[in-house]
Chains A and B, each alone.
Chain A
Amino acid sequence: MLSEFLQFLFSGLTVGAIYGLIGLGFAVIYNASHVINFAQGEFVMIGGMATVFLMAAGLPMPLAVVLAIAGAALVGWLLARIGIETARGAGVVGLIIITIGASILLRGLAQVVWDRNFHPLPPISGDAPIHVFGATLLPQSLWIGAALIAIMAALRFFFDHTRTGKAMQAAAIDPLAAQLMGIDIRRLVRLSFVLSAALGALAGVLVAPITMTYANVGVMLGLKGFAAAIVGGLGNPLGAIAGGLVVGIAEAMTAGYLSSAWKDVVAFVIILFVLLFLPNGLFGRAEVHRA
């Protein structure tokens, strides 16, 4: 009974941590630019797929991971430079459509440049499961948890103790006032895309040993990450992580106790529930406009 529950909890926390990492990417971009980047899931895909193919080309895994993350960051920069900056007047609907276009474009490119197959990645430290009260825990889950904590600490340091990080916070609070103080908003927007692309790619590398990676892996992961960001309150990095864990655990419990077929429904039912009844998310600032 307990072991079963623990098993579901472990799997929920693992996948929830990944959703949280992806949601964090949404939050970083949203804070800097008020853009929701629907191509966030494609950064996750690029991270996983690029690592797979760089390793197939003979590179050692650490180098492949670093190059893959750098590649995704470059794509993030290009998206900000070409997609977002040149269409500044496009409005919310327009920017949503541009990032959706980018996501389809990137998926199409991945299918042509790489392929349409499923690829595994080796876990960071073996796959001998650890036994906890009768439940099994994969070492990769621990790595994912550790990475999440390290990234949260690093982001906290970045936002609170560096000039650029503080500038990003200022821009999130009031872009106009920040600009008047001499902060270069365009640079910050590009930086936020680079940062969140790197975060997404890292999530992609971490999740690939568990779920495998393929050209369309980013679609559902991206949507779940978006869900995490909304459940936690858009633009709240810590909220995004908590939101990811909520969505992940709810999914795992549904899959375990009801049926795995319905787990994706649960995530979206939670989103609708949160949107309708807690429109600022669980931890968000009051900023949703309700007529």
Chain B
Amino acid sequence: MSNQLLQRHGGLALLAAIIAAGPLFLDNGFHYNVAILAGLNAIVCIGLNLLIGHAGQISLGHAGFFALGAYASAILPERFGFHPLGALLTGALLVGLLAFAIARPILRLRGHYLAMATLGMGIIVSIVLDQKVDLTGGPDGMVVGDLTLFGQALRGNLAWYWLVGALLFVTTWMALNLVHSPVGRALKAVHGSELAAAAMGVDVFHYKVLVFVLSAVLAAIAGSLFAHYNGFVTPDEASFIHSIQLVTMVVLGGMASIAGSIVGAVALTLLPQLLADFHDYEMIVFGAILMGTMILLPTGVVPTLAARIRERLA
């Protein structure tokens, strides 16, 4: 038990150390940009991994939630006079309610049917954002104002780095707590065998809905922050390919591994930057990673490495 405690807090301490040491290694705006985007992706992926890895429910539409959060932060302050922070919270709340409303019918589906339903939902969001030109600016996207905290506009890479870093830390801490709580154990049981879990008295459906809503809210918050940081949003944030990118990060890092989600998000945020000179080959590499990971390392990079290290030590 104490060993387990050490593992949990050891991981958190390591994450805190890496985030704190980050600015020592980040030299310029470009580095900060990549680090901040990686952090935001990691927040989405931690939520998504709770859904895919822990609860065993696939979603091919999470970019839709991300985009709804982003557009809440773009539209509410601009057109309805919301405070940016109020817009972020309102967006998260609305996405949570939406996710709750659709989770009830959608999560009764399984496997391919669930994949199709979430995919359809994501595509509907992206088409609506594309077509409601008077509200969203349509395919051209719209400009997003600054995020203000305590009357101060949040500007500059370092400020954004600390904000995203802190939020990533909190998200990780919360996810770890969730996984090691009765909820987490219930989810593990659901993933193993739904029938067995239900027979043991686990309210399977309740937990699935809970995780679906939580992951949608995390995506929405990350979307809001992305919108403010980027200063601009387009309906592309809701695209099918963005949903797939998020799933790829989860799969590459390792299903049901929180550390894996962070590693996957960082790796796949970094990759397009490293491949910038080979832009034409980006999709090939991306597709090959997706296939290769699933075929060769079906449990993902982090769990595979962890198992190897444990073997060595034992």
5 CB < 8 A contacts A-B: A93-B52, A97-B290, A98-B291, A265-B124, A288-B110
CB distance from A127 to the nearest CB of B (A): 30
CB distance from B119 to the nearest CB of A (A): 7
CB distance from A274 to the nearest CB of B (A): 10
What residues on A are CB-neighbors of B295 within 8 Å? 82-83, 86-87, 90, 98
Asked if residues B298 and A106 are in contact (CB atoms below 8 Å), the reply is: no
What residues on B are CB-neighbors of A92 within 8 Å? 58, 110-112
Give the distance in Å from the alpha carbon of A234 to the alpha carbon of B241 in the complex: 24
Binary interface profile of B, 106-126, with partner A (CB < 8 Å = 1, else 0)?
101111110111011101100
Q: How many residues of A are counted as interface, with CB atoms below 8 angstroms from the partner's CB atoms?
A: 46
What residues on B are CB-neighbors of A262 within 8 Å? 127, 131
Asked if residues B112 and A36 are in contact (CB atoms below 8 Å), the reply is: yes
A105-B109 contact, Cβ under 8 Å, with A90-B298, A262-B127, A275-B117: no
Q: Is the interface of B mostly helix, strand, loop or mixed?
A: helix
Give the distance in Å from the alpha carbon of A226 to the alpha carbon of B292 in the complex: 24
Give the distance in Å from the alpha carbon of A108 to the alpha carbon of B282 in the complex: 7
Give the distance in Å from the alpha carbon of A112 to the alpha carbon of B108 in the complex: 41
Asked if residues A93 and B58 are in contact (CB atoms below 8 Å), the reply is: yes
Asked if residues B120 and A105 are in contact (CB atoms below 8 Å), the reply is: no
Chain B 281-314 residues near chain A, CB threshold 8 A: 281-292, 294-295, 298
State whether the Cβ of A162 lies closer than 8 Å to any Cβ in chain B. no
State whether the Cβ of A67 lies closer than 8 Å to any Cβ in chain B. no
Binary interface profile of A, 261-282, with partner B (CB < 8 Å = 1, else 0)?
1101100110110011001000
State whether the Cβ of A96 lies closer than 8 Å to any Cβ in chain B. yes
Give the distance in Å from the alpha carbon of A83 to the alpha carbon of B284 in the complex: 15
Binary interface profile of B, 137-151, with partner A (CB < 8 Å = 1, else 0)?
000000000000000
Asked if residues A104 and B290 are in contact (CB atoms below 8 Å), the reply is: yes
Given contacts A98-B294, A112-B280, A279-B109, 18 further A-B contacts (CB under 8 A): A90-B298, A93-B56, A93-B58, A93-B111, A96-B58, A96-B115, A97-B251, A98-B291, A100-B247, A104-B244, A111-B280, A111-B283, A223-B123, A230-B116, A234-B112, A261-B131, A271-B120, A275-B116
Binary interface profile of A, 77-93, with partner B (CB < 8 Å = 1, else 0)?
00000110011011011
Asked if residues B105 and A83 are in contact (CB atoms below 8 Å), the reply is: no
A112-B284 contact, Cβ under 8 Å, with A93-B58, A104-B290: yes
Please give me the residue from chain B that is nearest to A270 by CB atom: B120
What residues on B are CB-neighbors of A36 within 8 Å? 112, 115
State whether the Cβ of B16 lies closer than 8 Å to any Cβ in chain A. no
State whether the Cβ of A109 lies closer than 8 Å to any Cβ in chain B. yes
A104-B287 contact, Cβ under 8 Å, with A36-B112, A96-B58, A234-B112: yes
